[in-house]
Structures are given as C-alpha cells and as structure tokens.
A and B are shown apart, each in its own frame.
Chain A
Amino acid sequence: MAADKAPKAIEVHGLKKRFNGFDALKGLDFSVELGEIFGFLGPNGAGKTTTIRILTGLARPSAGTARILGLDIGRDMRRIKKQIGVVPDVSNLYGELSAADNLRFMAALYGVPRSERTARAGELLEEFQLANRAGSPFRTLSRGMKRRVTIAAALIHRPRILFLDEPTIGLDVNNARALRRAIIALREKGTTVFLTTHNLEEANFLCDRVAIIQAGEILTVQTPAALRAAAVERPILEVTFDGAVSDRITAAIQSLPGVCAVRLEAGGTVARVEADELSAILPRLVSLLDETGLLIKEINTLKPTLEDAFIRLTGSGEEVHPGA
C-alpha cells in the first residue's frame, strides 16, 4: 500500500531562491534516502548553504517544495525541527556556558525530559572524547573541540537527520579524521546525514551519494564511484622517466597507433598518455622508449578521482579542495 511506504529523508522539487534579483537556486530537484550520507558538493557560492538554510527553516524558498521525512517545510517546520539536527559552518554555541551546560540548554530547548538531560549530555561528551572538558567554558576550547561540541549539541535530541555544513572546515588532519569517523558511526546508527562540503576527498570518503551543484543548479546526483568512472573517457598511463623527455620523443609517442594524447608534467619527466586500449599501447611504448635509451622509473595506470569528475562537470576546479 502506498500509505505504508516510508517517506524519503529529504525530497526537493523545483526549489528556487532569489535574493535581490539574483537567482541563488534555480530549481533544485533531488532526494535523499533514509540512512545514507548524502554529499552536497560545489564551489563557494554555488548554493549549498542556501539550500541547507531553506531545508532547516532559516530561510524560505522563493518557489518549489521540499519535504523532510514526509513533512512539508512550508507547513510543518516546527515538527521537522524536532527531527533534525543542524551543525552550521561556524561553531555557534554560548561562549560563557560550559560544554555540558551548552548541551543541557540545547536539550531543554528541544524538549528532552529534565531527568535525561545531564545523562544525555554526558553520553555525548564521552562519545566525542570531551568528557574531561565538560566543565570548561565553550570559548576556552580548541577549534576542533568546539566543532565536536557543536555536533554533539545538534545530536542532543537524537535527530533522524543531521545537516552538516562544512563540518571539517578549519580543522587539523587529526580532528578532521576523528570527525569523519564520527559521521560514519552516525550512519551506522541509522542517522541520515546531509553534508555540504567543498572538500572532494571528504565527499569521496564519506558519502553514499553526492550531488554536484554549481551556480544554483544541480549538475548530477550519483555515487562517488559512478562519478569517478564517468570522469575520464579514456584510460591514462603515467610514465615517469629519469630525465626530461625531448620534443622528438614526445612526437614519437604521440605517433604510436592507439595513442590519443600525450601531456608532459613535472618538467618533462612525467608523460601522461591517453589511449584507447592500454594493453595494446603498453608494449609499443616500452619498445619505443627502449630504442631511445631513456630510462623508465615507473609506469602507473591512473584511476580517475572525484576531482576529475568535478572538474569535468563544472569546468573548473577553482575554490574546491582536493583533500585535507
């Protein structure tokens, strides 16, 4: 029966947002399944934060509809807010209150029963390895700790969906890794995670599916693997030499049957060879290079990255971090 069908975590249709004559969102359509980590990927100004603000009730759409857990954002926002947690890109808790007091205040605000507030705050502080700083004022914590307390605050009422806006921005490698592990643990507990990021490696590592947004439009929604597979049309062979390759040798490689393109990198010591069939081209290439007397240090076949996919789709890698 249709009535028994579980609603999707998030369903967005034709979502538009216009600010002072500027179209920040130009009609977004996408959906997020329950229990998945969904990445919203795009350069700065693409519309990621605007989308998250609309879905969490901090802004209203100019047109279009969105449903969260089957509830309409226009009519049922208060009910939606009880079931979502939001971590903004800035850790915005009360500096004067301790980590534990901040969590207890959030618990009270979200209607967690008084008898459970302290225990729940303690549980989360333990989970995020902050139990020893429970009594420290929020303003005295390190950036990584602040980020973790902010995430804990968003989880205090056990939300079914967690919105994370650039969760690891500004964090050092260790803190960023710890946070990514925590996000994966959330999914394992059944929490749906909607994650905006412009860190491609993070999206690749965490997300079940990613949407790529640019200039207020969704370019594609796919799994990271499918995106990577679609990123390059032909296989690439990367050959590293012990010295620079001359123009004559480059032209010779280019003239081999099956070679589509040759690009030199690293001062001419690395050649990236695009070909239709790597298995066919490899013996010819080795034999040619043997004749030239050039020493091959390394040969690799390259796998396309999410960055390749991103650049291919958006036409630019600007303002996008390949990894942290």
Chain B
Amino acid sequence: MLDNIRGGYHIALKDIVTYYFKAPNISWGLLFPFALILAFYLRSPGEFLELVPGLLALTVLFGSTSMEAIVITFERRIGTMERLFLAPISVGALVAGKIVAGAAFGFCTALAVLVIAVPLLSIPVHHPVLLLLGLAIQSLTYASMGALVAVTVKEVFEAQTLANFLRFPMVFLGGVFYPVAAMPEVLQYVAKVFPLTYGVNTVQAALGIGLPPDAAYIWGQLAIVAAFGLGLYFISTLVLSRQLR
C-alpha cells in the first residue's frame, strides 16, 4: 500500500514538473477562462453573474482533461509508460498518479481565476470551503475522464478528438450557459449522465447564484461527482490492466 502511495505521488510530481506547470500551459490555462469571462461580461454585464458558476466548472473541466488525455497517450507512444509499468506499483497507483497531476493543474487554474475574479467582480461566496472542495473533486473526476479517454485510444489526435466528443455535449447540456431545468425534458435526462451538470450545481449552490446556498444539497451533488470520478478511475485502471495481458 505504501509503495503504491509513494509511487503514485512521485508519478504525479514528475508529471506536474515535466508537463503541466510549464509557461505555455499555465498561460493557456489562464487565458482560456479569462477570455471567456471577459467575452460574456462585455456582452451583458447585468446577467454575467449567472454565468460565473458554469464558467468556473468549465475552467476545471478543460484544465483537467486537456493535458491529461494527451500526456498518457503521448507516454504510451514514446514508451515511457512501459517504464512505469515495470515499477513495483499497481496499475491503479500509476493511473492515480497521472490523474492527480491533471487534477492539480485544473484545480490551480480554477483557483487562479477565482482569486482574481471574486474581488474584481464582487462575486458572493457563501460556502468557501465547500466551493474549494467541490472544485477539487471536480478536478479529479474530469481528470479521470481524461485518463479514460487516453487509455482507450492509441494516438494523441484520437485522444483530442474523443475528449472533445465528450466535452462539448457536456458544455452545452450541463447547465453552463443555460439552466438544465429550462431545457426540453429529453435533454434534461441526457444532462443527468454528465458529471459536469452536478459540478455546475455545486458551484452554483456554493456561490448562491442560481441555487440556494444549501450545504446539504452541495454535499449530495459532490457525492454524485465523486461517484462519477471513482467509476471513471476504476474503468481506466481496468482498461489499462487488460492491455498488459
């Protein structure tokens, strides 16, 4: 167990240093959400606040999945992943290490946006701890989704295509720009299968924008996001383990 924790930690640390926290990634990671926020703010400053929870969730989604899917696929292509398979740790620990690195990047990006946007735009925060916990759990869940994408494809371009194939329906149907409750009934059912829907709900409730700031409700939504994350993690581990046969 200790070997696995240690191994996963060092893999995460190595990925963070090697891939994620590089100037181009950091600048892109911050530029993307700020450009979106600015665009929506300039369009309708009066209604902008309603979009903040969705944009925050979106920042976490893209920050956590974009590089995750590419990093694993890239390492499998160049053979460095095989070196990790040779280490005395479980495949689960390897996948966990990869996920934690991706999640750390997504979380830090969202945190940077939060730190700048909250005072600047006078965004209310009713449950700061739950908000941070929510962003952290979402980061892990979306990074697990990125990991699943990566282990099911062989090429980097396939990973990008599949990641977008999953992300874009989530963005449009997950309540980021338009409330799920106002969508046609069929689409509301579709929205239920996306972790982003519950992620947006947690941010909305934590900020008290669009939903009442009910802590019990936030915990319930977080539990669903976490369940998605665990499911995606176990499937990724299973798929990768089967490839060693």
Contacts and interface: CB of A to CB of B under 8 A. Distances in A.
Interface in A94-133: 94-97, 105-106, 108-111
A180 interface: no
Interface in A35-71: 56-60
A109 B82 contact: no
B14 A78 contact: no
Contacts of B244: 57-60
Chain B facing A: main interface SS = helix
Interface size class of A (residues with CB under 8 A): 20 to 34
Interface in B53-91: 78-80, 82-90
Contact of A108 (B6, B82, B84, B86): B6
Contacts of B10: 105, 108-109
Interface of B: 3, 6-7, 10-11, 14, 18, 78-80, 82-90, 244-245
Contact of B245 (A59, A93, A94, A153): A59
Given A92-B79, A93-B83, A111-B3, 10 more contacts: A57-B85, A79-B88, A92-B82, A94-B18, A94-B80, A97-B14, A105-B14, A106-B83, A110-B88, A153-B83
Contacts of B3: 78, 111
A59 B242 CA distance: 10
Nearest to B81: A92
A29 to B, nearest CB: 22
A55 B82 CA distance: 14
A89 to B, nearest CB: 10
A90 B79 contact: yes
A86 B79 contact: no
B57 to A, nearest CB: 31
Nearest to B14: A105
A309 B88 CA distance: 39
A88 B85 contact: no
A82 interface: yes
A96 B18 contact: yes
7 contacts: A57-B86, A58-B85, A59-B245, A90-B79, A92-B78, A93-B83, A105-B10
Given A58-B244, A108-B6, A109-B10, A97 B18 contact: yes
A58 B82 CA distance: 8
A81 interface: yes
Contacts of B14: 94, 97, 105
A93 B80 contact: yes
Contacts of B6: 108, 111
Contacts of B80: 92-94
Contacts of B90: 78
